[in-house]
Amino acid sequence: MFVELRAHTAYSFGDGVLPPEALAKRARRLGYTHLAVTDSADLGGLVRFAQAMRKPLRDEACADAATHAELGADACPRCERPLAPIAGAELVVDGHPAAFLARNAQGYRNLAALVTLARVGAWETWQKDRQGDRRGRPQVTWAQVAAHAQGLHALTGPASGMIASRLRARDDLGAREILRQWREVFDASRLSVEVQLHHVSGSEAALAGRLITLAEHEGVPWVVAHDPRYVDADGRLAHDVLTANRHGVTLDEASQQGLLRPNGEWSLISPRSMLLRWSGRTEGIRESRRIAEECEPLDLAWMRPPMPVYPPPSLAGDTAVSTHTTNAMLRLRTYEGAHERWGRTLSPQQEGQLEKELELVARLGFGGFFLVMWDAVRFARSRNILCQGRGSAANSAVAFCLGITAVDPVKHGLLFERFLSEVRADGAAEPPDIDVDFEHERREEVLDYMYDTWGRGHAAITAVTQQYRAPNAVRDTLRAFGYPLEVADALAKRLHYADPAEGAEAIRGELGKAHGFDAESSRGAAALRTIAAFDGVARLRSTHVGGFVLSSAPLGSYLPVEQTSMGRTILQFDKDDLDDLGVPKFDFLGLGGLTM
């Protein structure tokens, strides 16, 4: 049975319109057992994808309608069976795309490291004032791939891949040399020649045949991949809109210039249909299943970086710091602060509360978390930057003694368990949440200090993934369809709080008529279907207002890092994804009131 190893979701920004949940849902209905996602230099959709792949399908019948009807949704084996998610990414290697799948935890870490390299380059040569060098052009070298090959399975890429490009240029010798080079690194068991067939032209079929011949001649398996970007005709329209917008042209101009995919074949189709399509040459179908079964299903624990520990890299040579373990350092700083707050002699209630909290913090492994917040507050006050902790952290006597918060929780009888509790947390699923406000105009000084202290490779800001709303979907779609800007603006301005599907429905009614939009015409109807298709689609990634993530190991090997136009480095994962992973965020927030 066929397994799709090359799906692209909306996290291939500009080249995919599939929400991870929609992809997983469609895969379940079509009868898949495994599915891989290989977004373009991006792993940001994997948390949502993995969760959706394991979620039962109960809101509608699956493809096995007879069994579903007989047993009911709660007992239908296809609806209840979790699917196996496989982590992957498409990377541009020396100018040509190729795909890599994580076979295990080590493979995932190497894949994440490669994505980080593609996005920001080597940290040793990274410069804040050259942040535009790689934005929009992520790529790695073959040497970097070879250095991170352990635990990965390599697919040689589509028609624009390195080997296929040589064959298209009639350089058969060059194609063989490249394949042998790849085989030396990955060996034949972790390398497959990728073959795609979308009924585009005779030359595409001829290329597929030549790729198969090359693979068989060199003793390397070949594998079928379909590389979907959408699941239906409306999704194809939305994908065409993204393509046209990316090139700054209308759909008609994109079609004339050959920028659009020539047919609607880039959708997720059923394993049975793929088997029929490749009947007579099923080796590539069998290879897809072999690869899938040898890849361990994606485990969210692979993505969880180790907590920061003391000393940080910048203080590793400071004997006054390095002689203490993280928990010993936390105890030392806590009692120093306790004597400053409460005097030389602590009451039994004060000491008992501190011991209770320190014991729990040590057991849950959050000692480094508290020390990071203490260090940030200490630095800010040394520079006369006003700061103040707030929220449920005010219930912690340790936070109070470290100077993070200002309210005495012992004096006021505040409940520590409201902030951190073994009942509510397991050390991985629900980390403590401490918000600290800094002067808005000087917050950047604190962030730069954290980067300098922990190193760029160990620190990054959390991202926020913004989804399409009706105004964005209307403007993007109508621009591509060639509508006047005035019409798009008039409609978009009246849909601020609507989702794309709600916006399309509103335009189909009185709103469209009021502003000269003909919903009954073929162009108008197609535009409205396209607008609705952007429902739930990720549009862009932005910087979170304050969430900072630190790790005692290279962070980009767990959560890939990319750079922003402002020179900041951010994670590819949304703040809510980090909550699902149990990754603590250090919330360094800017507050205008403190500036005033």
Q: pLDDT tens digit string along 392-418? A: 899 999 999 999 999 999 999 999 988
pLDDT of residue 41: 97
| CA separation, residue 323 to residues 19, 332, 359 (Å) | 49, 12, 20
Per-residue pLDDT, 260? 95
Q: Is the pLDDT of residue 71 over 50?
A: no
pLDDT at residue number 62: 57
Strand boundaries in 12-150, DSSP class E: 34-40, 84-93, 96-102
Could you tell me the pLDDT band of residue 596, with boundaries at 50, 70 and 90?
confident
Q: How far apart are CA 350 and CA 100, in angstroms?
A: 55
pTM over 0.85: yes
Residue pointed to by tokens 């040459």: 281
Instruction: Give pLDDT, residue 292.
Output: 97
Q: What is the pLDDT averaged over residues 311-321? A: 57
pLDDT of residue 31: 92
The pLDDT tens digits for 340-399 are 999 999 999 999 999 999 999 998 888 988 999 999 999 999 999 999 998 889 999 999
CA atoms within 13 A on the CB side of 29: 14
Confidence category of residue 322, pLDDT binned at 50, 70, 90: very low
Other C-beta atoms closer than 10 Å to the C-beta of 160 total 12
DSSP 8-state class, residue 267? B
Cis peptide before 311 (omega within 30 of 0): yes
Task: Output phi, psi for 83, to 5 deg.
Answer: -95, 155
pLDDT at 312: 72
**pLDDT tens profile 24-40:** 999 999 999 999 999 99
> What was the pLDDT predicted at 317?
53
Percent of the chain surpassing pLDDT 70 = 91
| Average pLDDT estimate for 516-541 | 95
Q: Is 105 exposed, middle or buried (0-12, 13-18, 19+ CB in 10 A)?
A: middle
The confidence band for 541, taking pLDDT boundaries of 50, 70 and 90, is: very high
Tell me the pairing of strands 586-591 and 538-550.
Answer: antiparallel
Per-residue pLDDT at 545 exceeds 90: no
Mean pLDDT of the chain: 90
The pLDDT, as a whole number, for residue 64 is: 55
